[in-house]
Structure 1
Amino acid sequence: MGLARRAQGDTLGAIAALERAVTAEPQNPTGYVLLGWTQHLAGQSEPAARSLWQAIARHPTHIEAFQALGIVYLVRGELTPAIWSHLWAALWNPQGDIAPYNLSLAYHRQGLPTLALAYGQRAATLAPDNPHPWLALALAHHQDGNGAAMVAALRNAQRHQAALNDPAFRREDLTYAGFDAAQIAQINRLWTP
C-alpha cells in the first residue's frame, strides 16, 4: 500500500501507510528502510535518518539501510557519517555501485581527489551505463587537474543520457542524484554539448 501510494506521487499517504506497516511488523528492517527512503524523498531528513537507524538496529548489516542512510547524510552535507555509512555498505557489497558513487561525491566535496577518483572509477566500472558515476568521476579528474580524463568522463555521461544537455533537466536530475549545488555549478561550467 505504501509503495503504491509513493508510486502515485502521494508521498505523505505513503509515509502514513509505511508507518502503519512498521507498527504492525516492528522487527522487519525492510519496512523501516522503505519508510526512511520515502521520508527522505519527502525532504524529511531527520525522520528518515531515525527510521534507517531503526532498520540497522534490527539488522546491523542491512546494505540498503546503510546506503540510504549514507545518501540522507550526503544530501544534508554531513560528509563524515555519509562516508562511514557508504564504507560499511561497500564492505558488505563490494560489487554494488551505489556506495562507491556516493563516496566519490563525498570525497570530492572534502577536497580529496585521490579517493574521489578511486571510488568514481569503481562506480563507473560497476555501472558503466549510468551517467552519474561518470559525472562524479569527471569532477574528481577536474579536481586532480586531469583535463583530458575529465572531458572523456563528461562525454561518457553525455553518451548515456542525452537529456543532460538540457540545463534544467541536468540541475533537477543531479540534485536528485545527490550532487550538491557547488558540484552542479561546477558541472555546468565544464559542460559542453
Structure 2
Amino acid sequence: MLKLPFKTSPQEFEKVTVGNSQIGELELPKYGDISPNERIFIKAANLADIRIAAVKLASEIAVKSGKKVIEIFNALTQGDSKSLEEYLEQFVTFQDLMDENSSARNLVLATTVIQRLVPDWKLENTGDPNQLHPQLLTLIVEFAKNEEAGWPTDVAPITEEELGNSIPNPEIPTGEKSTGESAATGRKKKDLVKEDLEASQPG
C-alpha cells in the first residue's frame, strides 16, 4: 500500500466493539463517515431510490384524490395509512417495497463496513447466518448507519430566529407550574380575557 510522506502521521482510527460473546464480537474501525471508495461500492449496488417511487405514486394518487403531492408523499414514507385509507392497496404495496429496499440497503451497508476488516467479503457472506449471526448483523447495520450519518449528536432545538416571525411572542418556560394568574396583577387570565371581551362589545 502506498503511503504519503506525512510530516505528522494521523492518529489511528478508533476501534468500536460491536456484538457480544453470544453472537460474536467484531472491532470495527470508526471513520466517522463513509469513505469515497465505500460510497462507490454502495452506488454500484444499484439500489432503487425509494423517494422516486414515492413521488411517482404520490403524483398518481394526487390526480385521483385532489390532495397535494407532498401530503401523500409524507403519508407514504411515514407509514400514515389513515391519510390514505381510500388507497390502502397502493399504500400496502409501497410499504412492502420500502421494506425490501431497506433490507437490501442494510445488507450493502453492513458489507461495506465489514470490508474494512475483510476486503474480499461479499454480500452473500453478510446474508449467510452461518457466517454472520443475524443479531450481530443488526448491530453492524446500526454502526454503519451512524457512520453514514457522521454520528449525529442530539438535534439542537430550533431557535425563534430560525422560525422567523411566524410565532408570536411565545412564553418562556420557567420550570414553575402555571397558576393561571397574570404575573403583573395576580388576577386570573380567564378574568382578564373576560374583561377584554366585555370591553369590545358595543355599548
Q: Give the TM-score range, shorter chain.
A: under 0.3
From the two aligned structures, give the one with the greater helix fraction. 1
- TM-score, reference length from structure 2: 0.21
From the two aligned structures, give the one with the greater strand fraction. 2
- TM-score, reference length from structure 1: 0.22
Higher RCO by CA contacts (8 Å cutoff, separation 6 or greater): 2
